[in-house]
């Protein structure tokens, strides 16, 4: 499928395309506009390149509409990582920040989009839309996470956080949609059993039609990996249509969540993707 079939909601400030060439990954298109800043692509093991993405604006602000497109051409392998967490500033009774990202992976490619946490300041509103397109032999990994933070001398909590992740198949049809929303007042309410001791929350999606990934033991291996970690609660489940799996993680603080997401992503890329995904080709 093509990015056009998924569609970008806004004019992108990031437009990055790579393709596979002779067992390596090479850039094809690179357009970067404010507030994004993209460092040099670093080549690593197994044909992967890492694209370090950061914001030059100091965070996300009310009324901003930020968009990006990343395309992985045939046999490409790319990991897009943000270099730091994103501070979401107060919307001040206006519209919140909206960030949309379109991820398109072609034949036998692997695309990992692994941003750091969104740190929600009091009064902030943040909406994230992620559109993913895969074909029969590609794989996309998506990371998402947030926590609320009240700076010293401030009070209150964030206004709203919304996340919308949609997966489209080779023919452009919608396979699944995962939407969530919460408000700071609801999370801060003294209701037993809502959050317990946890303050930071994240997800790791693995989208692929690879038969090996449909094996339930693979996603449960991530739970086994993190299960002994203190201050962490996690679970995993397969996605509909044999389209991969999702891991959910709750942590006592942002540092623990970042570490857990890092460990889970590394486990999947190194032990699952490279062994099982490659082996199924």
The model's pLDDT over 104-137, given as tens digits with 9 standing for 90+, comes to 999 989 999 999 999 999 999 999 999 999 999 8
The predicted pLDDT at position 6 comes to 44
CA distance linking residue 169 with residue 143, whole number of Å: 19
The predicted pLDDT at position 212 comes to 57
Among the ranges 16-20, 196-200, 241-245, 268-272, which has the highest mean pLDDT value? 16-20
The predicted pLDDT at position 11 comes to 80
Question: Strand 77-82 vs strand 110-114: parallel, antiparallel, or unpaired?
Answer: parallel
The predicted pLDDT at position 279 comes to 55
CA distance linking residue 138 with residue 181, whole number of Å: 29
* φ/ψ bin of 75: left (φ > 0), alpha (ψ from -120 to 50), beta (otherwise): left
In this structure, are residues 196 and 252 in contact, taking their beta carbons and an 8 Å threshold?
no
Report the predicted TM-score, pTM, of the whole model to 2 decimal places: 0.91
Closest to 269 in 3D by CA, of 66, 7, 50? 50
Closest to 91 in 3D by CA, of 122, 123, 58? 123
In this structure, are residues 100 and 129 in contact, taking their beta carbons and an 8 Å threshold?
yes
């Amino acid at each position: 499928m093509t990015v056009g079939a998924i569609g970008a909601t806004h004019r992108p400030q990031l437009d990055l395309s790579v393709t596979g060439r002779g067992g390596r990954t090479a850039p094809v298109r690179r357009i970067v506009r404010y507030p994004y800043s993209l460092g040099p692509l670093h080549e690593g093991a197994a044909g992967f390149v890492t694209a370090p993405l950061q914001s030059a604006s100091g965070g996300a602000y009310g009324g901003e509409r930020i968009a990006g497109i990343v395309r992985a051409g045939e046999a490409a392998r790319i990991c897009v990582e943000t270099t730091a967490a994103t501070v979401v500033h107060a919307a001040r009774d206006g519209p919140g920040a909206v960030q949309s990202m379109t991820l398109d992976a072609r034949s036998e490619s692997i695309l990992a989009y692994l941003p750091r946490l969104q740190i929600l300041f009091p009064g902030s509103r943040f909406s994230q839309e992620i559109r993913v397109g895969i074909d029969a032999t590609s794989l996309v990994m998506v990371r998402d996470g947030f926590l609320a933070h009240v700076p010293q001398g401030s009070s209150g909590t964030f206004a709203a956080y919304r996340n919308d992740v949609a997966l489209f198949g080779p023919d452009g049809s919608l396979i699944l949609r995962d939407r969530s929303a919460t408000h700071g007042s609801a999370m801060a309410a003294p209701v037993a059993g809502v959050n317990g001791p946890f303050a930071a929350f994240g997800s790791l999606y693995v989208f692929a039609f690879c038969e090996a990934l449909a094996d339930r033991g693979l996603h449960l291996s991530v739970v086994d990996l993190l299960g002994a970690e203190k201050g962490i609660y996690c679970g995993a489940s397969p996605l509909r249509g044999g389209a991969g799996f999702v891991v959910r993680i709750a942590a006592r603080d942002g540092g623990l969540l970042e570490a857990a997401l890092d460990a889970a992503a590394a486990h999947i890329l190194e032990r699952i993707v490279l062994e099982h995904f490659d082996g199924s080709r």
